[in-house]
Structure 1
Amino acid sequence: MAKLSIFITLISLFPLIYSSFSLENPTDRRILVLLDDFAIKSSHSIFFKSLQTRGFELDFKLADDPKISLQRYGQYLYDGLILLSPTIERFGGSLDLAAVLEFVDSGHDLIVAADASASDLIRDIATECGVDFDEDPAAMVIDHTNYAVSDTEGDHTLIASDNFIQSDVILGSKKIEASTNAPILFQGIGHSLNAANSLVLKVLSASPSAYSASPKSKLSNPPSLTGSSISLVSVVQARNNARILITGSLDIFSNRLFRSGVQKAGSSTKHEKSGNEQFVTEISKWVFHERGHLKAVNVRHHKVGETDEPAMYRINDDVEYSIEIYEWSGKSWEPYVANDVQVQFYMMSPYVLKTLSTDQKGLFSTSFKVPDVYGVFQFKVEYQRLGFTSLSLSKQIPVRPFRHNEYERFITAAFPYYGASFSTMAGFFIFTFVYLYNK
């Protein structure tokens, strides 16, 4: 009976494993959403509906549910994790800080939203990802210049920001509400980036007039975070291509701010709708690999004029190298177009560095002459660009010198030496003849 139960459980896991993240279909994925309260499911329904419309399967659970588990029998059940549970002190089930970090280390994606009531657990997760929230638990981002006029409480914590990162791959080629320039509404806590972490990037920053402090108390000491150094939304792309989004506002995903009109202080223009919905939709496309996800296929190299890949090359051979690179568009693989993909012919250090030309259809190629050095070389492509998944490809190939019977019988450059040798012999013969027969 026990064996039958295990068999039924394994059978039930097959659909989950089959539908998990794959290189061929990066967006056919299941996402676990952990909430503080199921009320968030309705108050943030537009965001969730956007994900479901794009083909994601969401599994909603309370963050303290004792049945939470990210993996079973060594297989991950989910490919993405959304933490909209800023107050949780301890996750339920087998989930903890180490499990979340291991989930990311395994190449899976993560969204973390905090607010003024953020727990130590949420702050620790952010810190491990290279983001440090303001240590003052009562602090919020305040801006007395760039606040929303609709901030009825008058403490100017509902700020309007349009300081975006300039990256089409992260935020899309269509500018946020380009026709109206509607800013993003943000209400929450700010954070700074760990200077030692080169993988974390600001996506949305505060204005130079912003600062982080408690809105209920007077400033007695200088704020720890001020100006544009305050990040409102940050992203991380790990070296294993896992992607993370961290923000100090749970409301930035809410229906209320999605639908809210916005008028920036000091501006006479009132926008009927904020840019939050487009901003969150576009950045979630990046986080869940619907944009900026690259794959490389058909890596080839051969001698010029041939098609078969040899077991080794000889010094001074003429070589052709080609690779196909495609980008996932959310529905299909499209040819990737760029002029900065390079290949190295590498042994201890690059002997050849060539920029690959493209046919605009995904094929990148170049040709070069093998250097006059023999040993074990590698064809290496290390492609790392802002917002794109990194490509790291290498292919090893030995290079040999000429064999003894492959050298030219007479080398053109040696003709002067040949002439010197024969002229010496001729001179010696003439000298001998003259010496012997001269009376």
Structure 2
Amino acid sequence: MAKFITILTLIFLLTTKSRSFSPENPTDRRILVLLDDFAVKSSHSLYFKALKSRGYELDFKLADDPKIALQRYGQYLYDGLIIFSPTIERFGGSINHAAVLDFVDSGHDLIIAADVNASDLIREIATDCGVDFDDDPAALVVDHNSYAVLNSEGDHTLIAADDFIQSDVILGSKKIEAPVLFRGIAHSVNPVNNLVLKVLSASPSAYSANPKTKLLNAPMMTGSAISLVSVVQARNNARILISGSLSMFSDRFFRSEVQKAGSSTRHEKSGNEQFLTELSKWIFHERGHLKAVNVRHHKVGEADAPSMYRISDDLEYAIEIYEWSGTSWEPYVANDIQVQFYMMSPYVLKTLSTDQKGLYYTSFKVPDVYGVFQFKVEYERLGYTSLSLSKQIPVRPFRHNEYERFITTAYPYYGTCFSMMAGFFIFTLFHLYSK
């Protein structure tokens, strides 16, 4: 009986997996939300409600619940993970630091919200994802020039931030008019790491320090080097959001009025809801997810792909690229997609033309070099999942019976040969019959 129940459970897991995240439907659907306290579910209800309204299935658990797990029988139970438990020292169940990283390494997405009380566990996960929180456990982001006037408490730790990343695919095409309210800790991004992007940066006047103590030395983290919210797109196209503030997701910050210091404009509502909603669409692959299909190549005038090409053949290459809109695949339109005909180095590099309907194509002549080549498409663009495609194909030289018999440039040599034969014939006649 126990074996029968196990088999049924495994079948259930496999079938539910096929209905959610898949190449044909890349949007995350089942999300595990880990909380320090179930009160967060109520205090941050607007953010969770926005996710549910877009079809997400949220499973709320306490972070120290002894029964929680990310996978069972080798199958992941969830497509995404939200950690709203900044103070947790140790996860419950089978989840630990390594399990969270394995979850991301397997292609799943992650949201982490830290706070001034962030535990070493949360800080270590963030470090492994590419960002470093301020080492001072009592430090907050302070800004005496860009604080929120209407909610100022004197210490200027409530920041009105509006330095957003300039990317429509990450934050949507609609401009965020109101500043985003932020109260939390700072983190830095390694400038060498091109996988991590700052989507919300502090102003040049910001710094990270303990607001309750006198500042004796220059802060370690200052100005625009401070990142308030960062995202990571891993090489396997998994996406991660790291925020130094849990309260910026709260209903209070969503509904709050905001006026930035030095500005006369007063906004009825902060930009938090628009900013985090649009950002979550990108994190959970509702935007910026590409796929390539129908990759094909053949000689000009033919339809089928050959087993190999001959040097100097004229060939055609085509590929179709589509972008996921959250509900369906739409043609992706760009003018910077290139194909390489590659052997040790690219012998041919061509920018693909497009019909504006998802089809990209080009034609070129096979170089006069034989060996094993590859068609390679390596496409990386800010905010979009990367495409890496390769197809191996041999290139052979001319066979002995494929060379042109008489070529124009060899006519002088032909003339020399026949003139020598004629001269020898005349000389022979003259030598034989002359006295």
Specify the TM-score bucket, using the shorter chain as the normaliser: over 0.9
Structure 1 match to 2:249:
253
Structure 2 match to 1:134:
134
Q: Distance in 1 between matches of 2:262 and 2:243?
A: 26
Counterpart contact for 1:27–1:55, Cα < 8 Å: no
Aligned pairs for 1:73-152 (under 5 A) are 73-152=73-152
Deviations 1:130-186 (CA, angstroms, capped at 9, x unpaired): 10000000000000000001234210000111101111111111111xxxx211111
Structure 1 match to 2:69:
69
**What's the secondary structure of 1:361's corresponding residue?**
coil
- 1:14 shift after superposition: 3.9
Aligned pairs for 1:93-242 (under 5 A) are 93-176=93-176, 181-242=177-238
Deviations 1:247-283 (CA, angstroms, capped at 9, x unpaired): 1000111111111110111222110011110000111
- 1:414 shift after superposition: 1.2
Q: Distance in 2 between matches of 1:95 and 1:111?
A: 15
Task: Give the alignment's TM-score, normalised by structure 2.
Answer: 0.98
- 1:399 shift after superposition: 0.9
Q: Distance in 2 between matches of 1:14 and 1:374?
A: 47
Letter in 2 for 1:116: V
Deviations 1:8-33 (CA, angstroms, capped at 9, x unpaired): 32244244322331110112520100
Structure 1 match to 2:423:
427
Letter in 2 for 1:104: V
Counterpart contact for 1:19–1:28, Cα < 8 Å: no
- 1:312 shift after superposition: 0.9
Structure 1 match to 2:371:
375
Q: Distance in 1 between matches of 2:365 and 2:289?
A: 32
Unmatched segments (≥5 aa) in structure 2: none
Structure 2 match to 1:395:
391
Aligned pairs for 1:34-45 (under 5 A) are 34-45=34-45
Structure 2 match to 1:293:
289
Counterpart contact for 1:202–1:231, Cα < 8 Å: yes
Sequence identity percentage: 80
Q: Distance in 2 between matches of 1:94 and 1:124?
A: 18
- 1:4 shift after superposition: 2.5
Q: Distance in 2 between matches of 1:306 and 1:211?
A: 65
Counterpart contact for 1:232–1:248, Cα < 8 Å: yes
Deviations 1:184-230 (CA, angstroms, capped at 9, x unpaired): 11110010012442211110000000000011001011111000000
Deviations 1:103-123 (CA, angstroms, capped at 9, x unpaired): 000000000000100000000
Letter in 2 for 1:387: G
**What's the secondary structure of 1:262's corresponding residue?**
coil
Structure 1 match to 2:4:
4
Structure 2 match to 1:312:
308
Q: From the superposition, tell whether residues 219 and 261 of structure 1 become closer, same or farther in structure 2 (CA, over 3 Å).
A: same
Counterpart contact for 2:116–2:185, Cα < 8 Å: yes
> Greater shift after overlay, 217-226 or 14-23?
14-23
Letter in 1 for 2:67: K
1:366 aligns with 2:369: no
Q: Distance in 1 between matches of 2:303 and 2:425?
A: 55
Counterpart contact for 2:28–2:285, Cα < 8 Å: no
Structure 2 match to 1:51:
51
Letter in 2 for 1:141: V
Letter in 1 for 2:165: I
**What's the secondary structure of 1:320's corresponding residue?**
strand
Letter in 2 for 1:331: T
Structure 1 match to 2:278:
282
Task: Give the alignment's TM-score, normalised by structure 1.
Answer: 0.97
**What RMSD, in angstroms, separates the aligned Cα atoms of the two structures?**
1.1
Letter in 2 for 1:308: D
Residue-pair matches, total: 435
Deviations 1:23-67 (CA, angstroms, capped at 9, x unpaired): 101125201000011111111111111111111111100000001
Counterpart contact for 1:20–1:78, Cα < 8 Å: no
Letter in 2 for 1:399: V
Aligned pairs for 1:21-36 (under 5 A) are 21-27=21-27, 29-36=29-36
Q: Distance in 1 between matches of 2:232 and 2:26?
A: 18
**What's the secondary structure of 2:16's corresponding residue?**
helix
Q: Distance in 1 between matches of 2:252 and 2:397?
A: 71
Q: Distance in 2 between matches of 1:394 and 1:167?
A: 28
Q: Distance in 2 between matches of 1:161 and 1:17?
A: 39
> Greater shift after overlay, 286-295 or 151-160?
151-160
- 1:412 shift after superposition: 2.1
Structure 2 match to 1:357:
353
Deviations 1:301-357 (CA, angstroms, capped at 9, x unpaired): 000011111111111100000000000011110000000000011111111110000
Q: Distance in 1 between matches of 2:418 and 2:205?
A: 88
